[in-house]
C-alpha cells in the first residue's frame, strides 16, 4: 500500500477531506481507481523507494503546458517516495545546463533533447552511468529497444561505453498526414509501400491534383524540414548502418548514397506537378502554414509528411481521426528485408548529480505509470510496450503509437546528431540551395567541405 493511501485512509475526516482536495489537485488520476493504469507497479515502486525528506532538482526543455504535464507526473513520484522535487524547465534549458555544469552546480536530473549534448557531457564526466536495470527496461520493454539503447550509450571520461540516459517521451517523424474524407472521395487507398506511395502520387498528378504540400520556412531554422526528408530517404534507400556512418561523418556527405537520398527528396520537392507551388512554393512557404493545403476545398494537396507535433498547427476545431489522420511513411517493398525504419527524436533523462533520490527518479520514469499519467492527458508518445495503450485519448495518437511500436529500426533525427555547423547550418543552407535549383552533387560537396574543416 502506498504512502499516499496510508495517509488518506489513516487521517481524521477533515484532514482526509483537505488532503483529498490536495490530491485532486496534485494527482490527476486517483491511484487505484482507474483500472487501465498500472497501479500495481506503482505500489511496488513506492514500497521499495522511501526517500522521505530528500530534495531533488530536475531541469529540462519542457515549459508551458508540457511543464504542467510533467509536474503532474512528478506529483506521483513525490506521493510515492516522500521526496520533494523542484522542476525548473522551459526555454534556455541548454544554456542553463551548460552554465550549471561549468559552475559545478548542475540540477540532479537533466532531461536532454540532444544525444550529442549528452554524449559531450558524458565524455567530460558530468553524467552518472545508469544501472543495468534501466538498460534492461529499454532493451526489453521498448520497441526497437536495442536502437534506443545504442543512442543513449556513450563513451565515458575513461572511454568505456556505458548507458547514460533513459528515453522518456519521444516524437515520431515518419508520418504522412492526410484527410480521410479526401482519400475516400477520390478513391485513394493508404499506401503500404513506398512503391505504392509513388504510384499514388503519380495517379493524383494524372487526375489533375497535387499530391504533396511541403514548406521549408521556419524563421532562423529555415530548411530543417528538408533535412528530415533526406534522413527518411537515407533510411529507406540504404541500410541503417549507412545512416549511422553518415550522421557520424564516416560516410562522406557527397557519397553517391547520400546524393541518391537528396535526389529522392528532389523528385518530389523540385517537381512542378508533385508539390503545391513547385520548388518556389516549397522554399517560400512556412512549415506551419504548409499543411493547410490539406484542408481547403477542393484540397490543394493530399499528403503532408511531418512529425507528430504538426496537428498543433492545423486549423482549429478539427476532430482527430475524422478530419485528419496519419499513416506510416512507408518503406520500399524492394528492401522488405530491412523491415520498417522509423525516424524520430526524444528526450533523455540523465543523472547530472548522483544521489539515491536521482536514482529513484530514474527508476520511476522507467515504470509504466510515469508514461501513462502523461499520455492519458495529452500528446505523449512512448516506445514503452508495457504501458496500456487504451489510455490514448484520440485515435490518431493511438495510430502514432502503433507506428512507433511497430518499428523494427529506430533512428534519431540525424541533423541533431551531426555537428552544429552541419546539422543546424550547412545542411539547412544546402537543402535550400538544392530546392532552389543547385545540383545535389554540388550541394553535397559543399556540405562535405564544411564538415571536413571541423575538428
Partner 1 sequence: MAHPLSALLAILLCLGACLGWLMLSGRVLDRLMPERAVLIRPWLFLAPAGLIVAFCLVWPLLNTVWLALHGPNGVGFVGFGNFRLLAGDARFPEAFRTTLLWLAVVPAAATGLGLAAAGLTDRLRGGGLVRPLIFLPMATGFVGAAVIWRLVYDYRGGGGLDEIGLLNALWTAAGGSARPWLTQAPLNTWALMAVLVWSQTGFAMVILAAALRTIPAETVEAAQLDGAGPLRIVLRIQAPQIGGAIALVWSALTLMVLKLFDLVQAMTNGQWGTQVLAGLMFDWMFGAQDSGRASAVALVLLVLAVPLLVLALHGVRREARQ
Q: Where on the chain is the footprint of partner 1 (CB under 8 A)? A: 210, 219-223, 276-278, 280-285, 293, 296, 300-301, 419-421, 424-425, 428-429, 432-433, 436, 446, 449-450, 453-455
Q: How far is the CB of 314 from partner 1 (least distance, A)?
A: 16
Q: How many CB atoms lie within 10 A of CB 181?
A: 13
Task: Return the residue matching grid coordinates 550549471.
Answer: 100
CB-wise, 40 or 284, nearer to partner 1? 284
CB-wise, 182 or 222, nearer to partner 1? 222
CB-wise, 277 or 379, nearer to partner 1? 277
| Upstream peptide bond of 302 is cis (omega within 30 degrees of 0) | no
**CA-based end-to-end distance of the chain:** 55
CB-wise, 119 or 237, nearer to partner 1? 119
118 by DSSP, 3-state: which? helix
In this structure, what C-alpha cell is assigned to residue 91? 526555454
Q: How far is the CB of 366 from partner 1 (least distance, A)?
A: 33
CB-wise, 282 or 403, nearer to partner 1? 282
Least Cα distance to 369 among 48, 72, 37 occurs for: 37
Q: Are 350 and 127 in contact (CB under 8 A)?
A: yes
Q: How far is the CB of 425 from partner 1 (least distance, A)?
A: 5
Q: Are 213 and 294 in contact (CB under 8 A)?
A: yes
Q: How far is the CB of 248 from partner 1 (least distance, A)?
A: 17
Q: How far is the CB of 184 from partner 1 (least distance, A)?
A: 22
C-alpha to C-alpha distance for 52 and 102, rounded to whole angstroms: 30
CB-wise, 46 or 282, nearer to partner 1? 282
C-alpha to C-alpha distance for 318 and 311, rounded to whole angstroms: 9
C-alpha to C-alpha distance for 196 and 213, rounded to whole angstroms: 18
C-alpha to C-alpha distance for 196 and 370, rounded to whole angstroms: 39
CB-wise, 269 or 362, nearer to partner 1? 269
In this structure, what C-alpha cell is assigned to residue 172? 515520431
List Cβ<8 Å contacts ≥24 apart for 198-206. 201/268, 201/274, 201/303, 204/302, 205/273, 205/274
CB-wise, 223 or 346, nearer to partner 1? 223
CB-wise, 126 or 169, nearer to partner 1? 126
Instruction: Return the bridge partners of 167, or none.
Output: 348
Is the CA virtual torsion 142, 66, 372, 377 positive or negative? Answer: negative
Q: How far is the CB of 283 from partner 1 (least distance, A)?
A: 5
CB-wise, 135 or 266, nearer to partner 1? 266
Q: What angle do CA 136, 393, 320 make, to 5 degrees?
A: 120
In this structure, what C-alpha cell is assigned to residue 137? 527496461
C-alpha to C-alpha distance for 113 and 115, rounded to whole angstroms: 7
C-alpha to C-alpha distance for 107 and 105, rounded to whole angstroms: 7
**DSSP label of 157:** T
Amino acid at each position: 500500500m502506498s504512502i499516499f493511501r496510508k495517509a488518506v485512509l489513516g487521517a481524521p475526516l477533515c484532514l482526509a477531506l483537505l488532503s483529498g482536495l490536495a490530491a485532486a489537485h496534485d494527482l490527476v488520476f486517483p491511484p487505484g481507481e482507474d483500472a487501465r493504469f498500472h497501479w500495481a507497479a506503482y505500489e511496488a515502486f513506492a514500497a521499495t523507494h522511501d526517500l522521505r525528506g530528500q530534495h531533488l532538482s530536475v531541469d529540462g526543455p519542457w515549459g508551458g503546458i508540457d511543464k504542467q504535464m510533467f509536474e503532474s507526473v512528478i506529483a506521483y513520484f513525490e506521493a510515492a517516495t516522500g521526496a520533494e522535487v523542484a522542476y525548473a524547465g522551459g526555454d534556455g534549458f541548454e544554456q542553463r545546463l551548460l552554465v550549471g555544469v561549468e559552475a559545478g552546480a548542475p540540477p540532479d536530473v537533466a532531461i536532454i533533447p540532444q544525444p550529442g549534448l549528452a554524449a559531450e557531457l558524458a565524455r567530460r564526466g558530468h553524467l552518472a552511468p545508469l544501472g543495468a536495470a534501466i538498460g534492461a527496461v529499454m532493451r526489453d520493454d521498448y520497441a526497437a529497444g536495442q536502437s534506443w539503447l545504442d543512442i543513449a550509450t556513450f563513451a565515458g571520461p575513461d572511454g568505456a561505453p556505458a548507458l547514460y540516459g533513459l528515453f522518456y517521451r519521444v516524437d515520431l517523424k515518419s508520418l504522412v498526414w492526410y484527410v480521410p474524407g479526401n482519400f475516400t472521395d477520390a478513391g485513394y487507398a493508404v499506401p503500404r509501400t513506398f512503391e505504392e506511395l509513388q504510384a499514388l502520387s503519380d495517379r493524383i498528378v494524372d487526375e489533375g491534383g497535387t499530391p504533396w504540400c511541403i514548406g521549408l520556412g521556419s524563421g532562423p531554422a529555415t530548411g530543417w524540414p528538408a533535412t528530415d526528408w533526406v534522413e527518411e530517404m537515407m533510411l529507406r534507400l540504404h541500410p541503417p548502418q549507412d545512416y549511422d556512418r553518415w550522421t557520424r561523418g564516416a560516410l562522406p556527405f557527397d557519397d553517391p548514397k547520400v546524393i541518391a537520398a537528396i535526389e529522392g527528396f528532389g523528385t518530389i520537392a523540385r517537381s512542378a506537378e508533385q508539390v503545391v507551388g513547385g520548388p518556389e512554393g516549397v522554399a517560400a512557404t512556412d512549415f506551419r502554414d504548409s499543411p493547410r493545403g490539406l484542408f481547403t476545398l477542393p484540397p490543394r494537396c493530399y499528403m503532408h509528411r511531418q512529425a507528430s507535433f504538426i496537428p498543433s498547427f492545423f486549423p482549429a476545431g478539427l476532430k482527430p481521426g475524422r478530419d485528419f489522420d496519419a499513416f506510416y511513411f512507408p518503406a520500399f517493398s524492394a528492401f522488405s528485408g530491412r523491415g520498417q525504419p522509423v525516424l524520430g527524436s526524444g528526450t533523455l533523462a540523465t543523472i547530472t548529480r548522483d544521489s539515491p533520490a536521482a536514482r529513484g527518479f530514474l527508476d520511476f520514469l522507467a515504470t509504466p505509470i510515469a508514461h501513462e499519467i502523461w499520455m492519458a492527458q495529452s500528446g505523449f508518445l512512448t516506445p514503452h510496450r508495457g504501458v496500456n495503450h487504451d489510455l490514448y485519448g484520440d485515435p490518431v495518437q493511438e495510430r502514432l503509437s502503433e507506428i512507433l511500436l511497430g518499428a523494427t529500426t529506430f533512428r534519431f533525427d540525424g541533423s541533431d546528431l551531426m555537428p552544429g555547423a552541419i546539422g543546424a547550418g550547412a545542411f539547412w543552407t544546402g537543402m535550400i540551395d538544392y530546392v532552389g535549383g543547385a545540383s545535389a552533387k554540388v550541394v553535397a560537396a559543399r556540405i562535405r567541405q564544411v564538415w571536413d574543416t571541423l575538428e
